[in-house]
Amino acid sequence: MVRRPQPAAPSSGAWPAVVVLSMGLLLFVFVAWQYLWDEPRGSDDDLRPRRAVDQTPVVGAPQRIRRFLDSIVPPDSGALPATPPWMWDTPALARFFKGNGAALDNLGDLLEDADWHPAHAAWHAVDLGADPRWPAALALKQAECAYLARLGQEEAAFVAAIDLADLGKRLEEVWAWPSFYSRALEAQERSAQALAELLKKTRLPEETLRQFQRQFSLCQPAADKLVEALNAFYLHEKKLIFGPASGEPLDTMPGGTQLKRPGRLFFKPQATLRLFMEHFRRLKMEAQAPLANVGLISVKDAAAQHQLGYQPNSAGESYCAARMEGYRALPAQLGLARARGGLVVTLFAVRRCIAEQRTLPPTLESLRPRYLLDVPHDPFSASPLHYDIRRGWIWSVGIDLRSQGGAPTSPAMRDPAEPTVEIGVGIAAAVQ
């Protein structure tokens, strides 16, 4: 009888190898899943702008802004001087002002447009706020103020300074690109500086100053506008990540983007978008909180919690951190703009008191209700502004939240740690 060969029994050492191989395969699948899986899209209803898209067929403001910027003639040197225009010598000031007559006319046409249609899709086509000629454009209006003041045309100089504030107010409402908001704050700063310089030496009557005070007050930036702008900026970042897949109208894509954003290694779109949600929600809280409390709501600290490196979404975290750099300072910048605005409004009231009563007010509170309905509070401390009647200074505690007794600068309110305006007269001069 022939015996069939029996199959060899498996070696006892083969089982551990199979187990290790299976565990390795399972680990590989798990790691691959970690890198490839993306989070489900979260709800962002609270981050959507409440302003409806403007359906006007054609708007002209974007083209007028481009025409204005194209007509700017830089100074003879090609670069703006480091000093403010009211410190330039008269020939240089006259050349810059007179050489930009066309630009000033174009800006006048732009400001005469009653409705810029800031919610129109046309603003999304080109990032006009990022144009490098804006500093020269804003300096031009300051130069106009300085030149007219030297000619003795004080009222016209005030009108030019108010035009800057009006320009800032218009740009504050254009949310298509974040750069417009930054330009709005720059225009507000330039306007406040020019008005502080004019008010320090003004001889205008109380009635005229009252009109200018009212016009300037209407142009001040507001926290609720920043909150809505942050919603729009979140939507802007969402479009940059997803393109048309974001579900937004195609004509509102930044720069007219039509294609979906290309994939990137270690970049999870949904997880990255969730990071933007967290940061913009925190920024909205900062924009509405007293600036003395912003240390309790720190977006910068939150961003530091996301470690970079070869993590599943390391590229997304790095991208988000880089993009948020341009947004984190907005609440503090708005606080500075509001502080400057409050200082200038208060300075208007003091100069009106001097023009009418020929004396300095003993306290800022005494300006109510004749010259101020309410005394502006310091947005940094939520307390009244500081007033030194002997020196003739009014100041804010600034970003360091500490009063050092005032710190006049040229241009005025340049020091963010102690924005200060000079009244132009102290108690000693008032007594004489």
Residue-wise pLDDT for 326-377, tens only, equals 999 999 999 999 999 999 999 999 999 999 999 999 999 999 999 999 999 9
pLDDT surpasses 70 at 15: no
Is the bond into 135 cis (omega within 30 degrees of 0)? no
Predicted pLDDT at 111: 95
Predicted pLDDT at 37: 47
Instruction: Note whether 167 and 108 are within 8 A (CB).
Output: no
> Tokens standing for 223?
């926290």
Predicted pLDDT at 265: 64
DSSP state string for 328-383: TTHHHHHHHHHHHHHHHHHHHHHHHHHHHHSS--SSSGGGTTTT-SSPPBPTTTSS
pLDDT surpasses 50 at 304: no
Predicted pLDDT at 431: 42
Predicted pLDDT at 26: 60
More confident residue, 381 or 202: 202
| φ, ψ for residue 387, nearest 5 deg | -140, 125
Average pLDDT over residues 261-276: 79
Question: Count of alpha carbons within 13 Å of 344, Cβ hemisphere only?
Answer: 34
Average pLDDT over residues 121-143: 96
pTM of the model: 0.87
Average pLDDT over residues 294-315: 54
pLDDT surpasses 60 at 263: no
Predicted pLDDT at 8: 55
Q: pLDDT grade, residue 303 (50/70/90)?
A: very low
More confident residue, 81 or 69: 69
Tell me the β-bridge partners of 352.
none
**Average pLDDT score, the chain:** 87
Instruction: Note whether 269 and 239 are within 8 A (CB).
Output: no
Average pLDDT over residues 115-125: 94
Tell me the β-bridge partners of 393.
388, 422
pLDDT surpasses 50 at 296: no
Predicted pLDDT at 120: 95
DSSP state string for 252-283: GSGGG--SPPPP-TT--HHHHHHHHHHHHHHH
> Tokens standing for 98?
């007179």
Task: Spell out the domain ranges in the chain.
Answer: 61-206, 226-331
pLDDT surpasses 50 at 29: yes
Q: pLDDT grade, residue 413 (50/70/90)?
A: very high
Q: How far apart are the first and last CA of the chain?
A: 139
pLDDT surpasses 60 at 310: no
- Residue 300 CA to residue 319 CA, distance in Å, equals 14
Predicted pLDDT at 258: 59
Instruction: Note whether 196 and 343 are within 8 A (CB).
Output: yes
Predicted pLDDT at 314: 80
- % the chain with pLDDT above 90: 66
